[in-house]
Amino acid sequence: MQSKAFHIFTVKDENEVKLICEHISGVDGVDNVYGDHSTKIFAVQWSAPATWEDIEDTLTRQGYQPAHQ
Give the DSSP letter of residue 58: H
The CA-atom distances, in angstroms, between 55 and each of 12, 20, 35, 44, 47 are: 20, 11, 14, 9, 12
Amino acid at 11: V
Q: What is the pLDDT of residue 12?
A: 95
pLDDT band at 68 (very low <50, low <70, confident <90, very high): confident
pTM > 0.85: yes
Q: What is the pLDDT of residue 51?
A: 97
Partners of 42 in the beta sheet? 6, 35
Return the CATH class of domain 2-68: alpha beta
Q: Exposed/middle/buried for 48, CB within 10 Å: 0-12, 13-18, 19+?
A: exposed
